[in-house]
Amino acid sequence: MKVVALGTGVCANGYVPKADRQPPGFLVDVGGFLVLFDCSEGIRYRLTAAGYDYGRVGHIAVTHGHPDHAALPQFIQAKSCRRIWANDQPSFATCNIYLPRKLAEGFPAVWDWHQPENNGAYWPELTPTFVSMDDKSEQMLAPDIILHSFAVPHGFGKHPALCYRLETPEGVIAYSGDSGMCDALVEAGMDADLYLCEASFRIGFVDAKKYGHLTPREAGEVGKRSRAKRLRLTHYLDLDTPEAMLHDLRESGYHGDADVARDGDVYEI
Ligand SMILES: [Zn+2]
Ligand SMILES: [Zn+2]
């Protein structure tokens, strides 16, 4: 199994020109079974650059609806047209999108904004299946691949948001999405082989208004409490140096394998 870091950046680029990173996305490849965590703007170009055909990405787990995490209409449209050009290969027709229940319920309005001529439908080539996920939901993606979701606080607690835990025969991956500190992050990552954890807040930031992100140190606390074997910080601004971020992370007492994630990283498990 391997995990490909397609996007470790944030919503805006250009903060640090020499370290330009793309918005969130990670591909989990379990012996050719593909699961995409977050579907950001332009993710399919990055899948192609990493050597993957986006037409074959059949399982997409979206943490929440912020635009930097969920550019779904474009991905769905591209997958549909991709299937036509793939000579109608059945495997290209799978498009299961896992997302917070409220966002699944609200998506028809988003689709209608883009495709009013479809009268609420998609296309014969591809009709996505929206799978509503709640706190402590689990879905069997394949007989031995299970996706667990946990509700997390984000957007002042007003935004339906999830973190995910993916259990496979070859290892466990946890992905925080965007979240403030909470027990759900620990539960999702318990004894994980790899924890992809956000660190959007700068070192020392105190989230007095409870918007819901983590500092590197808080991400380290999540890694420590969950006993994750490997911890990679993602969705960070790059305004603090990697060395300073890792120093702050270690202040948490996390002693496992830790680093900042970079676009193009590949983690073998
Ligand atoms: Zn967000
Ligand atoms: Zn975000």
Q: Assess contact for 228 and 215: CB atoms under 8 A.
A: no
Which ligand approaches the C-alpha of residue 200 most closely? 2
Q: How far is the CA of 66 from the centre of ligand 1 (A)?
A: 5
d(CA 133, CA 187): 16
Q: Assess contact for 126 and 93: CB atoms under 8 A.
A: yes
Q: How far is the CA of 179 from the centre of ligand 2 (A)?
A: 9
Q: How far is the CA of 19 from the centre of ligand 2 (A)?
A: 18
Helix, strand and coil percent figures for the chain, each rounded to 5: 30, 30, 45
Q: How far is the CA of 103 from the centre of ligand 2 (A)?
A: 16
Which ligand approaches the C-alpha of residue 66 most closely? 1
Q: How far is the CA of 65 from the centre of ligand 2 (A)?
A: 9
Q: How far is the CA of 12 from the centre of ligand 1 (A)?
A: 12
> According to the model, what pLDDT value does residue 13 have?
80
Q: How far is the CA of 66 from the centre of ligand 2 (A)?
A: 7
Q: How far is the CA of 91 from the centre of ligand 2 (A)?
A: 30
CATH topology of domain 2-268: Metallo-beta-lactamase; Chain A (3.60.15)
Query: Residue 118 corresponds to which tokens in the numbers above?
Result: 């479809």
> According to the model, what pLDDT value does residue 69 have?
98
Q: What's at 77, amino acid-wise? A: Q
Ligand 1 is an ion; its neighbours by CB within 5 Å are 66, 178
> According to the model, what pLDDT value does residue 120 have?
94
> In order along the chain (269 residues), what is the average pLDDT of each group of 10 residues?
97 77 97 97 97 96 98 96 79 94 98 96 94 98 98 98 98 98 98 98 97 98 98 96 97 98 97
d(CA 183, CA 168): 22
Q: How far is the CA of 163 from the centre of ligand 2 (A)?
A: 12
Torsions phi, psi for 40 (to 5 deg) = -80, 170
Q: Which regions of 76-219 does DSSP assign to beta strands (E)?
A: 96-100, 129-133, 137-142, 145-151, 162-168, 171-175, 194-198
Ligand 2 is an ion; its neighbours by CB within 5 Å are 178
Q: How far is the CA of 86 from the centre of ligand 2 (A)?
A: 33
> According to the model, what pLDDT value does residue 59 have?
98
